[in-house]
Amino acid sequence: MSLEKVLAIAGKPGLFKLIAQTRGGFIAESLVDKKRLSVSVQQNVSVLSEIAIYTLTEEVPLKKVFENIKKKEDGKQTSVKPKDSNDKLEEYFFEILPEYDEDRVYVSDIKKVIQWYNLLQAHNMLDLEDDAPEKETSNKEEA
């Protein structure tokens, strides 16, 4: 599953999987408790594939950050917990993304990234296929 179907909904804990679109929004299923809910278009919703982390030179897509964590942790849960000390979380994040912008990436953001990674890892959703290279290749083959 790609990050394009995984959502973070403001005011709701955890992550959600996009199930279906409705006239006034969509139906999402919680990865935490599998409950489904109707989400209106007025709610603040973020698609994980659209989220990036600021570095000193560029914005790194969340997918790349997850890949770095997965590589460091050998595909397992993170060695730090979201409730660890701020210093420990920042130190861990420097190992994952050495050039992250400390002024624009807050500890609360780091906690979210770690929580999201652990939730996706627990549901075996970290094999994040990237459809873009396949589309480019097939377009070249068609031409």
Which two tokens mark 4? 């394009």
Q: 85: domain CATH number?
A: 1.10.10.1650
Q: Domain total for the chain?
A: 2
Judge whether 29 and 17 are in contact, CB under 8 Å. yes
pLDDT tens track of the chain, all 143 residues?
A: 578 899 999 999 899 999 999 998 999 999 999 999 999 989 999 999 999 999 999 999 999 999 999 999 998 999 999 999 999 999 999 999 999 999 999 999 999 999 999 999 999 888 755 444 443 433 444 43
Are 44 and 103 in the same domain? no
How far apart CA 4 and CA 130 sit, in angstroms, is 10
Residue-range definition of the domain harbouring residue 85: 51-122
Residue 128 lies in a domain: no
